[in-house]
A and B are shown apart, each in its own frame.
Chain A
């Protein structure tokens, strides 16, 4: 009888722990708005931001984790650890940072850190329970980086939600993203201005539950 009780308690503990430690990753190419979205989520539910944002690419060069974010919606509750990752790129040229106004030495340092950040992001793919891929809706969605990230998540059977960010901009085109990835749910938002965050949280509940 004791053994049965222990098994039952372990079972309950496992369910509880699983729900409590869902790792939700934010992935995508650089400057898609991953940290802006992370900041919006954290501001909405924790009252504080998560990381710094910049118009210069590769501002996030390390993995950042915000633990135990609890969101409530329509009587349901969801708790997760949010993992903001550096943008994944296939090329990094320090001269691009120099053009944006950085000193040569700072640009080289940023490029070096950015390459390490990309490697870290890729390593962490296996650790995720669910992933939000943040795409810039003004950019070409057919880039191989997007296809490689999504393909690898699909191969690992990790649930994916695609976010078309920056819909406040005139050039934004969600239809193009929908055509590129017809098998995925896509939510258009502006993380910067908080546009359609309600739709985003609805989709997040669907993704995680």
Chain B
């Protein structure tokens, strides 16, 4: 079985309100796609994503695996970090990458924190 990776550029969600952003992501994940979102959701939206995922859990949909990779370096100059913070506040957080996959396919996402490992479930376990 081939895995489908769905890339969502930040421009596709930048105009959406929080509820519609979360819905767009979950709709894709529920179609058994692994979503690669440019940037990251707001903290509040990440929390809502978990809550709405819980509301939608059923025998067919067991939830999600979620990981955010930050691209900003801790060693970056103060001015660079300030500029990024300001840009994120105005334009939304476009730095990094958010990975969201269906729990029926993605067993675990390990962050180390510079590298990321995505472990998938074997096919037998996926078919229910």
Q: CB distance A122 to B50 under 8 Å?
A: yes
State the total of A-B contacts with C-beta under 8 angstroms. Answer: 71
Does B47 count as interface, using CB distance less than 8 angstroms? yes
Main secondary structure of the interface of A (DSSP, over half): helix
Q: CB distance B59 to A94 under 8 Å?
A: yes
Please indicate the chain B residues that have their CB under 8 angstroms from the CB of A152 in the complex: 43-44, 46-47
Q: What total of chain A residues lie within 8 Å of the partner, measured CB to CB? A: 28
**Distance of A176 from chain B, by nearest CB (Å):** 10
Chain B: interface size category: 20 to 34
Given A91-B103, A92-B63, A140-B110, residue A115 in contact with residue B47 (CB < 8 A): no
In the bound assembly, the distance between CA atoms of A125 and B64 in angstroms comes to 21
In the bound assembly, the distance between CA atoms of A128 and B79 in angstroms comes to 35
Q: CB distance A92 to B44 under 8 Å?
A: no
Q: Which residues of A contact B (CB under 8 A)?
A: 88-95, 108, 111, 115-116, 118-119, 122-123, 125, 140, 142, 144-145, 147-148, 151-152, 154-155, 180
Q: Which residues of B contact A (CB under 8 A)?
A: 43-44, 46-47, 50-51, 53-55, 57, 59, 62-68, 103, 109-113, 128
